[in-house]
Amino acid sequence: KAGVTQTPRYLIKTRGQQVTLSCSPISGHRSVSWYQQTPGQGLQFLFEYFSETQRNKGNFPGRFSGRQFSNSRSEMNVSTLELGDSALYLCASSLGLGTNEKLFFGSGTQLSVL
Amino acid sequence: GESVGLHLPTLSVQEGDNSIINCAYSNSASDYFIWYKQESGKGPQFIIDIRSNMDKRQGQRVTVLLNKTVKHLSLQIAATQPGDSAVYFCAEMSLGGTSYGKLTFGQGTILTVHP
């Protein structure tokens, strides 16, 4: 069974631009969560989607948004990029049947903002 | 303000030794705990999990211990191998709707295994 797939693997953008990252969950998983990983802040939760609905959200500004499609694939968007948005963005999937489930992570998208 | 990089704890062991990685958590409402391994250039890889109604769980070469009284979690790796070298994270989740998909991660520990 294929794991969580994230594309693209690397991205370079400039300040003020926007970016869209994509995540395909493990087959049969309906929940997709997004995390930001930086050397300074570690791993931080962005948001979670299930059945095309956002169920949970972390403490990030409104420039960070996401969506989920009917096939459970998810995208996240960051608008008006700032230098501090440079990070590894990780997507995780789970069955979504409740809390306290194993989350399986993809390899991430490394975003560099210049 | 200026951001300060995390200074990750490090653990250096010889191949074949047993390793113990520790993690303290602060949320007494945490109900579920996971250990992840992250190698360079990869996402976190699930190792083992434990629920708060247990104090020990064993997997292949790994054991997780949970002490809820002092809010402490540990990961024991038996017969550590060079391929175990990575950053290890503990993560916690609490019950309730606000926890969907939300793991709170520890800062991580760098494990280096010398041949």
The pLDDT of residue B28: 85
**pLDDT tier at B4 (50, 70, 90 boundaries)?**
very low
Measured between beta carbons, the chain B residues lying within 8 angstroms of A104 are 46
The pLDDT of residue B3: 36
Task: Encode pLDDT of B39-61 as tens digits.
Answer: 998 999 999 999 999 999 999 99
**pLDDT tier at B104 (50, 70, 90 boundaries)?**
very high
Q: Cβ contact (<8 Å) for A99 and B107?
A: no
Burial of B97 (0-12, 13-18, 19+ CB in 10 A): exposed
**pLDDT tier at A15 (50, 70, 90 boundaries)?**
very high
**pLDDT tier at A2 (50, 70, 90 boundaries)?**
confident
Q: Cβ contact (<8 Å) for A99 and B99?
A: yes
Classify each residue of B39-63 as buried b or exposed e, where b means 16 or more C-beta atoms within 10 Å of its C-beta: eeeebbeebbbbebeeeeeeeeebb
Measured between beta carbons, the chain A residues lying within 8 angstroms of B41 are 107
Nearest to A105 among B44, B94, B98 (CB): B44
Instruction: Give the position of tokens 């400039």.
Output: A14
